[in-house]
Amino acid sequence: MTDATEDIPSVDYVEGTAIPIRGNDIDTDQIIPARFMKVVTFDGLGQFSFFDLRFDDDDNEKDHPMNEERFQDANVMVVNNNFGCGSSREHAPQALMRWGIDAIIGEGFAEIFAGNCLALGIPTVTADHETINALQQWVDDNPDGEIEVDVRAETVTYGGNEINVSVDRAQREALVEGNWDTTALMKANQNAINETADSLPYLESAD
C-alpha cells in the first residue's frame, strides 16, 4: 500500500527477473476476477492474480506462467497490447504488485490501468510488437536472466541487449522525481483549488 506520507521513493529503475504473460486485450476481469473484490482492503489479493487462468474448478493448477516454479521470483512482467483494459479496478495492479510485480513492459496499456500502476509506483513502459516478442522469448529461455528497466533513460537491458522503450512523459517525471503520490502534492495547492472552485458557475449557484 502506498501509505507513505513523505519520502515517496523515486523509481528510477527496476531490476530483477521477468515473467512473460502473452496475449492482447487482457482485461482486468482476467487479472482479478470480480468475486475476489468483495473485500474492503487490498491485502492478500496477490494470490488471486489471474486466478481463473491459473486454476480449474477443483483448484488444480493449469498451465500458466504464474504457476511455473521458474517464474516465482519474477518482478518484471512482459505483456502484449491493450493490457489491463476494461474495469477501472485498482485491485488489478494491486494484485500484481502483491504477487511481486514492480514493473511492466508491454506493447500498450489501457489508460486507467496505467494510471493505477503509476499511483502504486509501478512503471508501465512500452515497445513495439517485435521487440516485446523477442523479449518474451528471451525471458522464456532465460527465466533467471537479469533484466533492468531504466525509467529515466527509457531503456530495458537484458542478456547483453539494450533496447529503447517509451515511458509516458508525466509518468517518467513522477516516478523519477518521486512525486507519483499526488495527494500531498495537490493538497498543498489549497488556495488555487479554492479559486478554481469559486470561479465555477455551478458551484456559485449551489446552496
Partner 1 sequence: MSKGTLYDKVWDRHKVTTLPNGQDQLFVGLHLIHEVTSPQAFGMLRERDIEVARPDLTLATVDHIVPTADQSRPYGDDAAENMMSELEENVRDAGIEFLDPTSGEQGIVHVVGPEQGLTQPGKTIVCGDSHTSTHGAFGALAFGIGTSQIRDVLATQTIAMEKQKVRKIQVDGELGEGVEAKDIILEIIRRLGTEGGVGYVYEYAGEAIETLDMEGRMSICNMSIEGGARAGYVNPDETTFEWLEETDYFQEHPEKFDELKPYWESISSDADAEYDDVVRIDASELDPVVTWGTTPGQGIGIHDPIPAPEDLADDKVDTARRAQEHMRVEPGETMAGYDIDVAFLGSCTNARLPDLRRAARIVKGRQVADDVRAFVVPGSQRVQRQAEEEGLKDIFEAAGFDWRNAGCSMCLGMNEDQLEGDEACASSSNRNFVGRQGSKDGRTVLMNPRMVAAAAITGEVSDVRDLEEVQVA
We find the least distance from the C-beta atom of residue 14 to partner 1, in angstroms, to be 18
d(CA 203, CA 182): 24
DSSP-derived secondary structure for 52-101: HHHB-TTS-B-S-GGG-GGGTT--EEE--TTBTBS---THHHHHHHHHT-
**Interface residue with partner 1, options 58, 63, 144, 205 (CB under 8 A):** 205
Bridge partners of 162, per DSSP, are 157
Segment 35-94, which members bind partner 1 (CB under 8 A)? 35, 37-42, 52, 80-82, 85-91, 93-94
d(CA 193, CA 131): 43
d(CA 86, CA 74): 25
By CB under 8 A, residue 119 contacts partner 1: yes
By CB under 8 A, residue 7 contacts partner 1: no
Cell of 130: 517485435
By CB under 8 A, residue 137 contacts partner 1: no
Binding mask 144-163 for partner 1 (x = CB under 8 A): --------------------
Burial letters 74-103, b for 16+ CB under 10 A, else e: bbbbbbbbbbbbbbebbbbbbbbbbbbbbb
d(CA 163, CA 131): 8
Pairing of strands 161-164, 155-158: antiparallel
**Interface residue with partner 1, options 79, 122, 167, 174 (CB under 8 A):** 174
Identify which of residues 164 and 193 has a Cβ nearer to partner 1 in the complex. 193
Identify which of residues 111 and 146 has a Cβ nearer to partner 1 in the complex. 111
We find the least distance from the C-beta atom of residue 35 to partner 1, in angstroms, to be 7
**Interface residue with partner 1, options 61, 73, 111, 146 (CB under 8 A):** 111
| Contact footprint for partner 1 (CB under 8 A) | 1-3, 5, 23-25, 27, 29-30, 33-35, 37-42, 52, 80-82, 85-91, 93-94, 108-112, 115-116, 119-120, 129, 168-171, 173-174, 177, 179-180, 182-183, 185-187, 189-190, 192-193, 195-197, 199-203, 205-206
